[in-house]
Amino acid sequence: MKFAHSLQLNAKPEWSQEYINYSYLKRIISHIEKLKFEVMRTNFASGNDEELQLISSDAVDASQAALTEANESFVSTLEKELDKVCSFYSKTERRLLNELENITMAIREFEGVEHATKPSRQPSSWPKSPLSSPTLSFKNRFDQENVENIWENLKDEHVLKEKESMRMRLSELFIELNDLKEYIDTNYSGFKKILKKFDKCTEGTLKRTFMPVVDAHFSFKDGSVVQDAMDNLVKIYSRVICHENVGDAWTELKQQLKEHVAFERSTVWKDMIELERKAKPAVVLPAFETLPANVSFWQRYKSLILLCIAIILLLILLRVEIFKDRAQRNCFALFIFVSFLWSAEVIPLFITSFFVPFLAIILNVLKNDKGETLSPLDASPIVFQSMFSQVIVLLLGGFSIAAALSKFNIAKSLAVSVLSKSGNKPSNVLLANMFVATFLSMWISNVAAPVLCFSIIQPILRTLPNNHPFSKCLIIGIAMASNVGGMASPISSPQNVFALERMSLAGSAPSWLEWFFVSIPICLICDLLIWSFLVFIFNPSKGLPEVTPIRKTDDPISKQQILITLSTILTILLWCLNPILKQYTGEMGTIAILPIIIFFGTGILHKDDFNSFPWTVVMLASGGLVLGKAVKSSGLLSTIAAAIQSQMEGLGLWMILLIFCTLILIVTSFVSHTVGAMVILPIVQEVGQSLPNPHPKLLVLGGAFMCSGAMGLPVSGFPNITAMALEDQTGKPFLNAKDFLKVGIPCSLIAFACIISLGYGLMLLIGF
């Protein structure tokens, strides 16, 4: 792996801006290479053409001057990067060593160790730091007589609590010290590699002269201050926790460090994409894979057989005259074909979406306003315009906000801040985690939120006994709350964005304030009822009177975090005020462009962040938009809606909502929530519009909520898939399918009851 990629993947997220800017330095070297080639080319031209010698002399001088300036710029930038790294190292080193001293003093005070005099803090007694920073030496810091039997005879419950608190503080400090050590190692390698690359490009010797400057700042010998601090911390940990066994202390701390790297080092989006790939491998036809010999015929050729069935079904439906109108018949065949592929997941969902525009054009399913079938030449522009609408821009705006909040740990800091105040009672910790998961789902989507929440609760899971009910309770609670959070805001799930598009076609989409007026009470009541059910089923307090609390971090707020927070608040405020500002801004998609411009324009997010967006979801949404356009333009939607309406004639609005929510609950428990919304919501909208007293917004919004509320199976939504992927320290999954069947189905019914009762009343109250 290239060093630039390795640096990007392994950098501590909170310190991402403090590492050597290796990519920028490489760009300068690339620029120098181009200038060097230009100088050589100019010299060659002037030397081989006497008539051009006088003319090209100025060009040679200009090229040479530009090359010299570029070389000086590289050295200047390198010096600035070195100063930046050294300054951050010194500041962080002082903070961590002070924290170690504070822990030392806390242990001594707790044990009642009295000291006649405090350690001297005069500068003259400070040892030299690798970065010439005033740091304290921790060699021989502990008096053997004072700590020899430090944790013997512990009987008091208060003492046990203090011991656990000290264990957590020591573990966290060990991880941070190791991060700092890796930080300096990584940057040291970065300077060596970039200098080697520069010398190779310029045929110079800058590495020979500049590396001694770097070496003067960095020291990696065993006697370095950070290494001394880590060694002393292990000794302290062994005395406090491991009964003087240094080997056990090293083993425990390294295990916690390993878990920290697994759950904390990557950004939320990288973890999300990795889990998504594990859950749904990007293989088109597994029949062509090299599989073990003992795999059954059905397992080997399942996808190929299902694809053949789908194609045969398409051909049959194109021939059978179910509808008199040819365009409607073709559109119905298209609808069933892609619905079958989506539901069975024969090929990746986003690849199925590409079938929609292709077949919609060649099957002549689109009509103009006069009811005339459009030719492929006339239909193509309409189809491709439908693939990129304000729905796609809303998705991209939401992805940008989510990426910024996660990359700079704003969402995580907010979550940890709330959870650190939840106390240590298991039921309270569960409720706090559920509320955090729902709240985060509002802003970073219910796809990324559970990944973040599951990484935050790792310190709690580590301290629980094996197979304790609270582990399952906490993980399922977060998954259920994340599903509920999929209803909370228009950008919290793809099905909500799609529902907005359907309601826009029905007249006008609800404002964000109207959405919140309905969704937030539903989410709160759902969370409380699900929490009560989980407490009743799992009884988490049994055998576990208290939970180790999550410790709040004291990291300073950066300028980037302030800008991201203000930009996000401004965007949400403008979304809420869109009905008032509509004459100036148009649709909400216009406002969604703001965070994209701000975050990428200021360098908060980069090209790699843009490439990391879940583009499969974007293409899935694009296919759904074209399908909606096709079924509406062909007249198929009106025909199906009229048939359904005739069956529902005489039924009240509430009963119609009940029937549709029941259908959606059943379907989306087995297929993707987004796919269920794309298939069913257009029909719901058309039925709502055809009622004697039209209520398309009420039915579509209720249906969209029910898509998120379907959470009965392990495959019902990404939060459930993520929860099923979690494993304990031994590699054993925390959950199994029975756990979800036992909890997920009742929770789905709770969400169903809230939507058709409280949700129905609130939507009527605001005139939907």
Q: What is the pLDDT of residues 594-611, one digit of tens each?
A: 888 998 888 888 887 888
Whether 685 and 700 have beta carbons less than 8 Å apart is answered as yes
- Euclidean distance between CA atoms 313 and 335, whole angstroms: 11
* Rounded to 5°, angle at Cα 265 from 262 and 270: 90
Residue from 551, 525, 526, 548 nearest 426 by CA: 548
Is the Cα dihedral 279, 281, 286, 289 positive or negative? negative
Q: Round to whole Å and give the CA distance between 11 and 111.
A: 39
Question: What distance in Å separates the CA atoms of residue 382 and residue 437, rounded to the nearest whole number?
Answer: 40
Average pLDDT score over residue span 566-577: 81
Rounded-to-integer distance, Cα 677 and Cα 597, Å: 30
pLDDT classification of 117: cutoffs 50, 70, 90: very low
HSE at residue 681, side-chain half, CA atoms within 13 A, is 35
Tokens of 453: 């929440």
Spatial separation of the C-alpha atoms in residues 364 and 383, rounded to whole Å: 11
The Cα–Cα gap between 703 and 711 comes to 14
Q: In this structure, how many other beta carbons lie within 10 angstroms of the beta carbon of residue 170?
A: 22
CA-CA distance, 269 to 280, in Å (whole number)?
16
Mean pLDDT of 295-312: 81
The pLDDT tens digits for 519-528 are 999 999 999 9
pLDDT of residue 669: 76
Is 707 in contact with 662 (CB distance < 8 Å)? no
Q: State the average pLDDT over residues 732-736.
A: 76
Structure token digits, residue 620: 């899935």
Q: Which residue type does 182 have?
A: E
Give residue-wise pLDDT tens across range 65-87.
777 887 888 888 888 888 888 88
**Contact (CB, 8 A) for 494 and 501:** no
d(CA 667, CA 673): 9
Pick 690 or 283 by higher pLDDT. 690
Question: In terms of Cα–Cα distance, which of 472, 492, 485, 477 is closest to 419?
Answer: 477
Q: Check pLDDT > 80 for residue 445.
A: no
Q: In sequence order, which ranges of 539-587 are alpha helices (DSSP H)?
A: 559-576, 578-585
Mean pLDDT of the chain: 75
